[in-house]
Amino acid sequence: MISPEKTRALARGKSRSGCLGGLGLVGVLVVLGTVLLLAATAIFDPWAFYLGGKFHITPYWKGWGKLHGKSGDYLLYVLIQPDPRSSGAVPHLDTALTGFAYLCTPHGEKFSLNLHGGMRKHLNRSTDGEAINLRMDNQTWYKTAWYGTGTYDDSPRLFFSGYWRNPKLVMDDQGSIARAFRLDGSVNRHNPYGPHSPEIVSITLVPGSGSDFDTACAASQH
């Protein structure tokens, strides 16, 4: 039988283990990895904590907006952050960006897109007025008739160029919406990289959450 004194000693030992003890080894490694990543970002890319004009503890910016094209209205949501694989590692290159995006089409389709881009090197803490370029694509793997083979379909593929106008991001699509979609709003899978389109669509992305975007996407279908 365990004595009351031993029971109290065990209880004190558990209490001293604290929060980290309850996390387990994997949890501790995740926490430490997150702290190290935040510390590295604070050293090499402090501007990431001020995207949009105000300090935030997470080093990324997220927002959404609407594009009015000839083929209909599109909603775009983006999350932008420094690319940890290149930040501070290659000083002579421009600042690399990564993240993800969602596009809601006039047909009610919702595409999940990879996001990459860049800004100039040696950014100040405030990025207000800074130029930014973004590219997005939908890399989906499709199996072919041959066993073990397949291909990537990266349409729709979109390009945006613009400037930070805190707290907003003001951009245009470089004609990529008209190239990526037909006039009926369906995806152009046959010639998505055709001649430059004369239709340039502008968009203003405002700070917002994914739930804001989802609500707007659902409402646009009614």
pLDDT in tens, 10-25: 445 444 444 555 567 7
43, two tokens: 């050293």
Look at residue 102 in the predicted model and tell me its pLDDT: 97
Render pLDDT for 89-142 as a digit per residue (tens, 0 to 9). 455 568 999 999 999 999 888 999 999 999 998 899 999 999 999 999 986 655
Answer whether 98's CB lies under 8 Å from 133's CB. no
Q: Which of 193, 191, 185, 197 is nearest to 75 (CA)?
A: 185
Asked if pLDDT for residue 149 goes beyond 60, the answer is no
| Of 159 and 32, more confident | 159
Cβ atoms of 215 and 106 closer than 8 Å:
no
Give residue 171's pLDDT: 98
- Could you give the percent of the chain with pLDDT greater than 70? 69
Structure tokens at 203: 């968009």
Distance in angstroms (rounded) separating the CA atoms of residues 8 and 3 = 9
- Residue 4: the pLDDT is 45
